[in-house]
Amino acid sequence: MKLEKHMVDTLKEWQLKLGGMDQHINLYYPVDSICDYMELKKVPETELEKKALLHTVKKYLSEQAPYLGDVILNYTDSRMSIQVPAEGCRYVADNVKTPEFLEGFLQVLKQQDLEKIKVFFHEYAADRGGTVVEKTDTEDMGTVLYFEQEEIDPYVYCIDQDIFGITYHRFARMDYEKLF
């Protein structure tokens, strides 16, 4: 997965969950994830390497995703924040198609019924000739659901149910795999 795709998908997800946004948004990434998205071999260690990574990411986004506007990057410890200005957020809201799966998933999630969520995943996959991978014995990740065929949806959904209801975390597959 490329950084641009992950950023745009995350902005769309937040817009679906929170509504339209006329303000900047800060996206936070572990630096090793940024390096993976950018297909860089080495995570920076020195200050010079960190500055070079900031320059590389800024250049990449200005060339591959100029519609996001003049992003502001900050590198702190092992995280990078990417601030997308309001005009970039508006562009994504107005011009990027809402992912059908994500929209349906968030609607089913409102029902706060884990079995209905699982049924939604399986029916969505079956309608597209795909299959769902379902894991329930994961350590501290709740129920994990994702499509075997990444073209259906490339993310891993970790769904947790407790006394406060059902919540989820969505990971790029490579980020999820790093957790284990």
Q: Indicate the pLDDT class of residue 133, thresholds 50, 70 and 90.
A: very high
pLDDT, one tens digit per residue, over 65-100 is 999 999 999 999 899 999 999 999 999 999 999 999
Q: Where are the alpha helices (DSSP H) in the chain?
A: 3-18, 31-37, 47-64, 86-95, 100-109, 114-127, 173-178
CA distance 116 to 100: 17
Average pLDDT over residues 168-179: 94
Query: What's the pLDDT score for residue 131?
Result: 97
Task: Answer for the pair 131, 125: CB distance below 8 angstroms, yes or no.
Answer: yes
CA distance 19 to 99: 15
Query: What's the pLDDT score for residue 139?
Result: 74
pTM for this prediction = 0.91
pLDDT, one tens digit per residue, over 11-56 is 999 999 988 778 999 999 999 999 999 999 888 999 999 999 999 9
Beta strands 143-147 and 155-162: pairing type? antiparallel
Report which residue type is found at 104: G
Query: What's the pLDDT score for residue 109?
Result: 97
Closest CA to 82 of 3, 21, 155: 3
Query: What's the pLDDT score for residue 94?
Result: 94
Mind giving me the DSSP string for 119-139? HHHHHHHHHTT--EEEE---T
Average pLDDT over residues 161-175: 94
Q: Indicate the pLDDT class of residue 155, thresholds 50, 70 and 90.
A: very high
Query: What's the pLDDT score for residue 64?
Result: 96
